[in-house]
Structure formats: C-alpha cells, structure tokens
Amino acid sequence: MRHLLRSHGLDKPIRMNSLVFLREAWPVNRPESDEAGTSDYFDSLEDALAVVHPYTSVCFAMRADILATLFLVGRFHIVFSPFMGRGTQPAATKYMDRYGPLMASVTIEIDFTRLSGGKSCEAVNFDPRMSLSRLRWLVEAFVDAQLTRQGPRMAHLRVLIRRYRCGGAESKGAAHFTPDTHAEYVLSPLRCLGRHVARLTIIGGSDAIVSSLLGPLYSGLGAKPVDPIIPEWRLESQEVRKPAQQQSQQQTRQQDMLKQAVHTAL
C-alpha cells in the first residue's frame, strides 16, 4: 500500500488549511505568485483523497487499508490561527477531530503573527487576549482528540511556533513580538500528550518554553537544542532508540493496530 501511494506522488506534507493560512502576514503587498509557490511544498487534503478515491471506493476493506496506510505514512500539517474556526477550516478541525487520533505524523503550526498587532515593534502593546484564547481553544481541541487514541502512539509530533522578532538597529537583542508567557499559555495543553507521542520536535521555542513547559513530557530526557540559529528542539521516548529490527517489528504491529482503529472509526 505504501508503494501504491508513493507511485501517485503523495510524498509531500498534506496541508489541512487553505493556502492563505500558510502565508506570512507581512508584507501585505506580496506578488500573487507567492501563493502558487507555497502549493509546491504541500498537497491539499482534497487532492490526496481524490488520488486514493478509485481505491477507497472499491470496498470497505480496501478503503480501510488505504486510509490506514495514508494516516501511517502521510505527514499532516495544520495551522492554528486566531482567524479560523470549525466552519471556515473543517479539515483542520472537524476532520482532525475524527481522524487525527489515527495519524502517525502531525505538524501543528501556531500562528502568533496575527494576534492583533502589526509589523512595528510598538505592536507588542496591543491587547492580544482574545486571539490567545482562540489559539488555546484550538490547541485544546487538538489535544482532546489525541487523548482518544485507540491505536498506536503518534510517531512524531512537530510544533512550529510562528512569531516575529523586532528588527532594526534600535532593537538589538531581537525581542519577540510574542512573549514566552503568551506561547506557554497557548501550548500548555500539550503537556497532556506525553504518553501519546513517541517523538516531539519544537521549532521556534525558547529555552524557557521547551525546558519548563514541554520538557517534562518525557521524564529522564533533557531538552537539547538542535539548531542555535532557528531554535529547534527534539525530545524522544526510549522506544524510538530501539534497534532497527525491533523498530521494524513494532511498526508492523502498529500498522495492524491502526487498521483495526480505522475499521472502527469508519
């Protein structure tokens, strides 16, 4: 089944949002071609499901096998923005509520660039509380769905923190538009996912966010930076450090468990 999906070119991350949510907030007057360029890096959920439709429509068993494989090998990318909801972005919300607990690789990108500010450093003085509450609500809904997992643990969860830094000579030290306290408030529900996630990668988080908030997810493992320029942190459970043969056997068991979970979900 994996070779079948790859033969149809399903090797890009699958975006669960409209393209507009993957574009940066600034500059405002960007070329229209930028949106087309963004699509080169992602497949949409609609396109991915359209590709496998000839197979999923054969019979119920084939549908379950194809979707189980898609959820196992696909990389699903979700953007959480204050300006989205269940009605406007159903794939990132309703679809994830139902099928998110079956996915092995998920990236959640938290967009702090649209809280209520602007591109000047003075924008940090605007009140972002309503937007922060909206973002936290989206993260909580994602966590609540993941806590219902009946199949294997998520193999890899990536958390991308999208936020601006002040630029220019007057802002040496590059203070964040979004303070760590705001990011911690929004991300704090992720603490509940420790035993449901095998590997966690955090990009854009400071030492304080990772160490004090997400580090305790994996007892006995310290959070260590991977890239000092773009803060990237990786935390792993002991299971991902097993020998290759044991990992292969575990993946086979996980695929069987996932197929059973998909049968139940459908």
Residues 177, 180, 182, 187, CA torsion sign: positive
Question: CA-CA distances (angstroms) from residue 234 to 185, 204, 223?
Answer: 20, 12, 7
The residue whose two tokens read 């959820």 is: 71
**Which has more pLDDT, 237 or 138?**
138
User: What is the C-alpha radius of gyration for the chain, rounded to an integer number of angstroms?
Assistant: 19
Q: What is the pLDDT of residues 85-134, one digit of tens each?
A: 888 999 999 999 999 999 999 999 999 887 765 556 666 566 678 889 99
Cα–Cα distance for residue pair 1/95, rounded to 1 Å: 22
Question: Edge to edge, what strands does the sheet with 156-162 contain?
Answer: 43-44, 14-15, 75-80, 105-111, 156-162, 199-203, 232-236, 224-227
Q: What is the pLDDT of residues 178-236, one digit of tens each?
A: 778 888 899 989 888 878 888 888 888 777 777 766 655 554 444 454 544 455 666 66
pTM over 0.85: no
